[in-house]
Chains A and B, each alone.
Chain A
Amino acid sequence: MKMILMLALVISFMDYQSIMVLTEGGPMNQTNVMFLYIYQLFFPITAGSSVVPGVWLWRSLQFGGSVDHRWCHWPVSDSRQAAGRSDR
């Protein structure tokens, strides 16, 4: 039991990937855990970037209702679209 508890504790402390994909530590740092914060300190994720597929996944759901051809394309971030630049 002690071994299982120890393993569970260590694995739980290390786990931040699912939080990073789901919420990126937000909203208002409500889900920002220690290792995610350190990761974001070194590799900052900006809002609307193509690192996390939240924006284009959301658009697929909003307009398509299901997963469609937009999944096949690498998304162009909002800032790039606004600036009129191509995604190279």
Chain B
Amino acid sequence: MTTRATGTPKFVGFANFARIARDTVFKTAIVNTFVYVGGKLLLTLPIAFMLAFLLSKNTRLNATGQSIIFTPTIMSSAVMALIFYLLFNTYNGEINRFLTWLGIIDENVNWLGVKYAMLTCIIIAAWGGIGNYMVYFIAGLTGISTEVYESANWMVRMQPRSCSALPSLCWPPS
């Protein structure tokens, strides 16, 4: 088959796979992907669980809180990144200004530089994802019967309620 765009195709076997295996940037990209995914999960899931636990009771205040936290999820990630581009700007960014005002940093930090770029990306992605996972966790938490909490409280009075909810969420009774 010959087309004007591609010319005559030529069978290359596994040459493309060999090429990608030699590509050092691709190897770096794979490592970065796992760092990014791991960092995002480690940051997102615990915070989402905490928020879900705090806001799981069916009150008007909690519903408002859930709506506020869920808002970043419906925002386009490109728009979100642009907003954070302004916030994390080295010279005019509000984050640097705020940290300087608090006295935490003396000179402006380059948040999108070599040292902190991945961390910044993870923080931004986590901010966008927390609301989504919070809803999932709330759905899971509302499925746990009150008897589980009562029995857990009877066993250990001082144990926080979240500790008794987590096993039921991980291993739900069949």
Chain A positions within 8 Å of B, measured between CB atoms, are 1-5, 7-9, 11-13, 15, 17-23, 25-37, 53-54, 57, 61-62, 65
CB of B137 within 8 A of CB of A4, answer yes
Contacts of A27 in B (CB 8 A): 112-114, 117
In whole angstroms, how far apart are the Cα atoms of A19 and B112 in the complex? 11
Contacts of A61 in B (CB 8 A): 86, 89, 91-92
* Given A27-B113, A34-B32, 12 further pairs, Cβ under 8 A: A1-B140, A5-B45, A18-B128, A21-B82, A22-B84, A22-B120, A22-B124, A33-B32, A34-B26, A36-B29, A54-B85, A57-B86
Q: Would you call B163 an interface residue if the criterion is a C-beta within 8 Å of the partner chain's C-beta atoms?
A: no
Chain B positions within 8 Å of A, measured between CB atoms, are 25-26, 28-30, 32-33, 36-37, 40-41, 44-45, 76-78, 80-82, 84-86, 89, 91-92, 112-114, 117-118, 120-121, 124-125, 128-129, 132-133, 136-137, 140, 169-170
Secondary structure call for the A interface: helix
Nearest chain B CB to A28 CB, angstrom units: 6
| A34-B125 contact in complex given A12-B37, A12-B40, C-beta closer than 8 Å | no
| A21-B81 contact in complex given A1-B140, A12-B40, C-beta closer than 8 Å | yes
CB of B45 within 8 A of CB of A8, answer yes
Nearest chain B CB to A37 CB, angstrom units: 4
Contacts of A8 in B (CB 8 A): 40-41, 44-45, 129, 133
| A9-B37 contact in complex given A37-B29, A61-B89, C-beta closer than 8 Å | yes
Tell me how many residue pairs across A and B have CB atoms closer than 8 Å: 117
In whole angstroms, how far apart are the Cα atoms of A30 and B28 in the complex? 8
Nearest chain B CB to A39 CB, angstrom units: 11
CB of A23 within 8 A of CB of B117, answer yes
Contacts of B129 in A (CB 8 A): 8, 11-12
Task: Among B32, B36, B85, B132, point to the contact of A21 (Cβ < 8 A).
Answer: B85
CB of A15 within 8 A of CB of B125, answer yes
CB of B78 within 8 A of CB of A18, answer yes
CB of B117 within 8 A of CB of A65, answer no
